[in-house]
Chains A and B, each alone.
Chain A
Amino acid sequence: MSASLASECNEVKERYDNCFLKWYSEKFLRGTATSDECEPLFKQYEQCLSKALKARGIDSMLKEARDDNRENDAEHMRPKR
């Protein structure tokens, strides 16, 4: 897996990524996922990362990007048929 932009988050990121990949290939793709069991690990990773994003001023840039992305969401989250 790839590194985090904040090296202090690498360890928790790796644990989360491994959990996610297992869930994705073994449950999500097979249609047997009932819940997101990696959520607790994601919360830890998110907590670490959000500090770094704030400290570097990336959080405000992200907000703009999210606003710009609304059209993509509308197009690709649409239910099929």
Chain B
Amino acid sequence: MKIFQQSSEFDYSWEEVSTSNWRKYGPWNEKTPHVIAVDTISRKVDPATGILRTERLITCKQSAPKWVNSILGGEEQSLVYETSYVDPANKKVTMCAMNITYADLLSVRETCVYQPASSAPNAKTNFIQRAEITAFCGGWQKIKNSIEQFTVERFQQNAQKGKEGFEMVLEMSRKAFAEQREMLRIQQESKILQQAAI
């Protein structure tokens, strides 16, 4: 088994991060073209805890090198199953993801947690990402090791791109919300002006 782990901070409030998180793989993110589609398959607020539970299916373009494909089989797309839990009372987002494609040969399990940063709980958000990668493909330990090593390296590259792309989404999102507020303000002012004129 190989483990990938990183933590970092976003200069955005938890509310902004948790909202933008839903559009992380949208058109504002130019860094993750390998993510082709994101589908929501179920969503429910648990009445007992107030936690929003969402299941999503993430479709990625496969771009493994030939030697990996020759071992795992050459699927064109790979699917990821993700369950997320948003606890608004405790301001915590937890996302758990696992691979569906090649699940008999390889297990990639990722957990991400977003929480307000203790240094500036209203302005910054702490992000923790951890993934465990285990290859099951029978035969030599050497092959398992190479597959795990390749996967953890690829995971690391994608995690970096994912973070950069998410920064883009956060920035665009803040702009869009500011514009929306400005529009509302202008509309309201013009109403006041109109009424004043009457």
Residues of A within 8 A of B (CB): 1-6, 9, 13, 16-17, 20-21, 24-25, 28-29, 31, 33, 36, 42, 45-46, 49, 53, 58, 61-62, 64-66, 68-69, 72-73, 76-80
Contact = CB atoms under 8 A, between A and B. Distances in A.
A79 B96 contact: no
Nearest to B51: A77
A29 to B, nearest CB: 5
A65 B98 contact: yes
By size class, the interface of chain B is 35 or more
A9 B53 CA distance: 22
Contacts, number: 103
B88 interface: yes
A76 B19 contact: no
A1 B27 CA distance: 7
A68 B15 CA distance: 30
Given A29-B19, A62-B57, A2 B37 contact: yes
Contacts of B48: 79
A16 B40 contact: yes
Contacts of A5: 36-37, 39, 57, 59
Contacts of B59: 5
Contact of B98 (A6, A13, A68): A68
Main secondary structure of the interface of B (DSSP, over half): strand
Contacts of A49: 39, 41
- Per DSSP, chain A at the interface is helix
A20 B88 contact: no
A58 B49 contact: no
A78 B86 CA distance: 12
A21 B19 contact: yes
Contact of B49 (A1, A17, A72, A77): A77
Contacts of B22: 17, 20-21, 24
Contact of B43 (A6, A20, A68, A79): A20
B166 interface: no
Contacts of B132: none
Interface string B142-181: 0000000000000000000000000000000000000000
